[in-house]
Amino acid sequence: MKIRALYAMMSLCGLASCSTVRTIAFEQLCPAEVSLPGRVRTVAVVNNMPSVPEAKSDAATFGLLNADGKAVAETLAGMLADSKYFRQVIICDSALNGAPAEGTGYRALSRGEVQELAEQLGADVLFSIDRVFVQNEKKEIEYPGMMQPWPVASTRVTSVLNVYSPVRAKPLRTLVAADSTEWDWNLIPSDRQMLREAARIAAGKLSSSLVPHWRQTERLFYAGGCVEMRDAEVCIDEGDWQGAYDLWLALFNEREGGKAKARAALNLAVASEMLDEPERAKEWLEKAKPYIPEGSEEEAVWKFSSLRLAQRMGDYSRLKAQMERFGNNLDE
């Protein structure tokens, strides 16, 4: 499972005897929420949202709005095409649903409509954007040290998308995705600008549900304290995780016990994961346990590392299945 290191937030320690917890942040390939068979090669994004009035360019509306279905469909289709997960992404941004927006329900596509659209577009699967709600409200955020709360406009975007197959009577999956953003009260955009941003937010959340995607995550490791630790830190700064692994392994083998041995094992777990060996990382976390005092900082680091590794390993089988269309090459 490939990961891409972005940066390490590290600072040199003034005292050679001081060992400090550092953070490494990297991008990790994560599975989509929806798993489609490898034979699904051509998909179509269709605009099934109800008709809405043209957005105002000189005013901001608070309360519930409906996003522009054409804009959401175009943005989502572009993101799916950029992912290069499917062979072809087709867009049908012409409104299929001419009814005015009412309430919070949506009009599902009939089986006949799905079959006709799939045949016309040459698509194996349809992604039907049915509703995108935009809820605007005023909020006040309190920050430590500020005399008064900071007023903002909070925008929550909730999308409803159905995945249809022409050979199935019912949708394969119904997705409800939500995300939000905030605007400085003095810089509130107009409805037109806000709905343009809402289309981008909705498409981003839906895209990450439909195709594997990169997500930033973090790991903790110990730096400083002895020559091996400092030299390993230099290796990490140069992107040489194998070199760091070898140095931490030597430190682990030469120490009889104590914090140094525990920290070396915790670091070896991180290095193993960065070298795409999660099973070996799990083994190092187990080896670290006997040397970690209860209630210590090392225990907190161990729990953090164990949780993140478990999450990654839990995603692995689903990601592997989703990447079979590329010959299980998780570097794609």
CB 196 within 8 A of CB 71: yes
The tokens for 89 are 């992404």
How does DSSP classify residue 100?
B
Angle between helix axes 241-254 and 258-274 (nearest 10 degrees) is: 150
Q: What is the pTM of this model?
A: 0.80
* Tens-digit pLDDT profile for residues 218-249: 999 999 888 999 999 999 999 999 999 999 99
H-run or E-run covering 42: strand 42-47
H-run or E-run covering 218: strand 213-224
The tokens for 276 are 């795409």
Please report the pLDDT score of residue 52 as a whole number. 78
Please report the pLDDT score of residue 4 as a whole number. 46
Helix H segments across 158-277? 191-210, 227-237, 241-254, 258-274
- Given the DSSP bridges, would you call strands 3-9 and 213-224 parallel, antiparallel or unpaired? unpaired
Please report the pLDDT score of residue 7 as a whole number. 35
| DSSP symbols for 277-316 | -HHHHHHHHHHHGGG--TTSHHHHHHHHHHHHHHHHHHHH
3-state secondary structure of 173: strand
Please report the pLDDT score of residue 9 as a whole number. 36
Please report the pLDDT score of residue 64 as a whole number. 87
Residues of the chain with pLDDT under 50: 1-17, 331-332
125: nearest Cα among 61, 242, 39: 39
Which domains, ranges and CATH numbers included, belong to the chain? 3-22+221-326 (1.25.40), 42-211 (3.30.160.150)
CB 223 within 8 A of CB 231: no
Please report the pLDDT score of residue 1 as a whole number. 47
Length of the chain: 332
The tokens for 330 are 């998780």
- Given the DSSP bridges, would you call strands 125-141 and 88-92 parallel, antiparallel or unpaired? unpaired
